[in-house]
Amino acid sequence: MASVVTAQESANADSLEHVIFKYGGLERADTTEKNIYLTFTGGDFNDGGKWISQVLKKQKVPAHFFFTGDFYRCSENNKLIKELINQGHYLGPHSDKHLLYASWTNRDSLLVSKEEFTSDLLNNYKEMAAFGIDRKEAFFFIPPYEWYNQQISNWTAELGLVLINFTPGTRSNADYTTPDMGDRYISSEQIYRNILSFESISSNGLNGFILLIHIGTAPERTDKFYYRLEDLIIELKNRDYHFKKLTEFYNQ
């Protein structure tokens, strides 16, 4: 595996000035290109897996799936994981046990040691290996809770991996919220409108966006955003966006 020092050094140099990094992790790819990097994370729930897989196949759209070790270990997910692999999607790690790396109130305050971080992430890769997923090809990593700091990015780089995170602004990642969360809850219709509204008013639209959605959500959320996925893909295609893999953007 090629040595990776930082996410910045691993990105293609000719587009680096148009790329957004935060705390050492890639947060948005080239903002001058109308490319979207559709991304899904999964840990406890997989209820949208079959639907999402069918939509992506129908629309001929590649996507990225980041699962925890527990998700890969669960036998109920075996068929879905193999299907996603066969369809050519990117499958990567989301930590083994979905650890919280840093304090919510003080981001610089680590809650794990380097040894704990490393052991947990490598255990995630062990579960991926059971499906024939090669670490050399699956070098992108989304941290659990999508919450990290510069130290976590540094440790990730030391393992020859690239930390990425979702691009903020659309609230697509809030599709996990449930009605009992009060003001934090956001409906699928609101999320859909937010995405298209952001695209319309932002100077760079959704260029280079790492657009994150969850592959499943708690049963308490009956309003599943993944049922709007095909409508969203069609609308974004109509706005001249292309769905691509991040592996086309990075050198390894």
What domains are there in the chain, each with its CATH number? 7-122+130-215+229-248 (3.20.20.370)
In this prediction, residues 5-19 reach a mean pLDDT of 57
Percent of the chain at pLDDT > 70 equals 93
Q: What does the pLDDT read at residue 251?
A: 61
Query: pLDDT value at position 250?
Result: 77
Number of H-type helices and E-type strands within the chain: 8, 9
- 22 membership: H or E segment, kind and range: strand 20-22
Query: What's the whole-number mean pLDDT along residues 171-193?
Result: 97
**CB-based burial, 9-26: b 16+ in 10 Å, e otherwise:** ebbeeeeeebbbbbbbbb
The full DSSP string for 81-104 is: HHHHHHTT-EEEE--SS----B-S
pTM of the prediction? Answer: 0.93
Residue 16 has pLDDT above 80, yes or no: no
- Residues 125 and 121: their CA atoms lie apart, in Å, by 7
Tokens of residue 181, six digits: 């969360």
Strand pairing report for 209-214 and 35-42: parallel
